[in-house]
């Protein structure tokens, strides 16, 4: 007998009843044929018992059908009894697909809720969008000028958190002249790791908002520069690598973007990831910022002279003496030499950590202490 597909969803017992009537069999007779208790047949017909694989096989042999037929009837019937609100699962899936929901909730940037409407409202508030289908824009009319730096959902969430913290800072109006003078002040801090804690204050005095937010897992973001709607520069950093050389290189890189007003006219967001890992094919503004960052850590001319004098024998003693002569911490020299020599294990012990020192005097979020 061919399997039948019901026009409406009925329990398998209804079809079992029809099969019995077609053959003029009683429930007792079917029970005897299958070798099962009469009560089983009665409960199948009344819908009190579900069709199991064992029962499906017995019914198939008795009526000349297939076990799949009876299992399909049971499956369709059970699915018909499940009551769900239309579109709820799809809306949640779309939300999780567009935003790093779980990580944002873990960090306290949003609160968990069983209601999809509440979740959508909270994420709309965080990203400042009228509807979750709208693409978030960090600044008004923001556009991406660098295709390879298109913000991922992880990076976008990070950027919005940076913006929220930056907007709370009270700093004087931005002055390019003061920022240029600030760079000179920052140069005096390169000798001792603990001196890095003064960087946020020095930049704030020039009208630059500096914020530290722990990188989202897998985002590979080192820092970013953007301008608030009223022309206020913001620098965000992640401390993805907690090393003295990386801190000063990334910071000076981002400062160069501000000094050059990169992205200001176009309301662009400059996202810097894997800084220093590429030299070919990068945008001119990134190349210039890289040069500024490297020269700030160790002046290029002096580094060139040092390399020419001592290569290929870069002993620890010579590196330490060179760092002392140019008045910077040895870790900064080591960082630049690692890039030149392509030896990232070279004298790594001198690349000391500075994150804890800096965060004591900075607005930050992350590293085990996430903000609301």
Q: What confidence tens digit (pLDDT) does each residue in 209-263 have?
A: 999 999 999 888 899 999 998 889 999 999 999 999 999 999 999 999 999 999 8
Please give the residue range of the domain that contains residue 49: 12-81
Cβ atoms 221, 215 nearer than 8 A: yes
CA 360 – CA 217 distance, rounded (Å): 23
Residue 339 lies in a domain: no
- Residue 184 and residue 269 in one domain: yes
- Residue 121 and residue 207 in one domain: no
Residue 320 lies in a domain: no
Q: 83: pLDDT confidence band, cut at 50, 70 and 90?
A: low
The confidence score (pLDDT) of residue 249 equals: 96
CA 161 – CA 154 distance, rounded (Å): 11
- Residue 181 and residue 248 in one domain: yes
Is the sign of the CA dihedral 152, 154, 157, 159 positive or negative? Answer: negative
Strand order in the sheet with 270-273: 270-273, 221-227, 233-237, 209-213, 363-365
- Residue 198 and residue 110 in one domain: no
- Residue 63 and residue 97 in one domain: no
Residue 347 lies in a domain: no
Q: 280: pLDDT confidence band, cut at 50, 70 and 90?
A: low
Residue 287 lies in a domain: yes
pLDDT > 90: percent of the chain: 62
- Residue 181 and residue 224 in one domain: yes
CA-to-CA separations, 31 to 25, 78, 159, 248, in angstroms, rounded: 10, 24, 69, 83
Give the predicted TM-score (pTM) of the model: 0.77
- Residue 183 and residue 294 in one domain: yes
Per-residue pLDDT at 298 exceeds 50: yes
For residue 258, what are its two tokens? 């501000």
- Residue 108 and residue 204 in one domain: no
The confidence score (pLDDT) of residue 145 equals: 35
Residue 72 lies in a domain: yes
- Residue 73 and residue 155 in one domain: no
- Residue 110 and residue 232 in one domain: no
Residue 224 lies in a domain: yes
- Residue 122 and residue 228 in one domain: no
Q: What is the mean pLDDT of residues 121-135?
A: 91
Task: Indicate the number of domains in the chain.
Answer: 3
Per-residue pLDDT at 6 exceeds 60: no
- Residue 108 and residue 34 in one domain: no
Cβ atoms 126, 110 nearer than 8 A: yes
């Amino acid at each position: 007998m061919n399997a039948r597909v019901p026009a409406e969803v009925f329990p398998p017992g209804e079809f079992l009843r029809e099969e019995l009537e077609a053959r003029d069999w009683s429930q007792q007779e079917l029970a005897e044929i299958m070798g099962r208790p009469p009560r089983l047949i009665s409960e199948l017909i009344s819908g009190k018992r579900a069709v199991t694989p064992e029962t499906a096989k017995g019914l198939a042999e008795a009526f000349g059908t297939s076990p799949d037929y009876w299992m399909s009837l049971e499956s369709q019937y059970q699915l018909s009894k499940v009551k769900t609100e239309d579109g709820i699962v799809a809306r949640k899936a779309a939300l999780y697909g567009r935003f790093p929901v779980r990580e944002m909730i873990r960090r306290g940037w949003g609160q968990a809720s069983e209601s999809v409407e509440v979740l959508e409202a909270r994420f709309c508030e965080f990203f400042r969008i009228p509807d979750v289908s709208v693409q978030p824009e960090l600044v008004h009319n923001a556009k991406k000028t660098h295709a390879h730096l298109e913000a991922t959902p992880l990076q976008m969430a990070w950027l919005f958190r940076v913006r929220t913290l930056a907007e709370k800072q009270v700093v004087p109006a931005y002055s390019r002249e003061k920022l240029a003078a600030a760079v000179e002040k920052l140069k005096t801090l390169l000798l001792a790791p603990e001196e890095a804690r003064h960087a946020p204050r020095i930049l704030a005095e020039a009208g630059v908002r500096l914020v530290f937010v722990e990188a989202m897992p897998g985002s590979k973001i080192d820092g970013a520069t953007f301008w608030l709607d009223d022309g206020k520069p913001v620098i965000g950093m992640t401390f993805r690598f907690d090393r003295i050389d990386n801190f000063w290189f990334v910071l000076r890189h981002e400062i160069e973007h501000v000094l050059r007003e990169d992205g200001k006219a176009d309301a662009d967001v400059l996202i810097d990831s894997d800084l220093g890992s590429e030299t070919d094919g990068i945008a001119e503004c990134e190349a210039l910022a890289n040069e500024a960052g490297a020269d700030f850590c160790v002046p290029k001319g002096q580094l060139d002279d040092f390399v020419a004098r001592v290569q290929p024998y870069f002993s620890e003693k010579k590196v330490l003496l060179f760092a002392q002569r140019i008045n910077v911490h040895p870790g900064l020299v080591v960082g630049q030499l690692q890039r030149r020599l392509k030896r990232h294990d070279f004298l790594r012990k001198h690349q000391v950590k500075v994150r804890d020192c800096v965060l004591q005097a900075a607005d930050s979020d992350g590293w085990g202490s996430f903000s609301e």
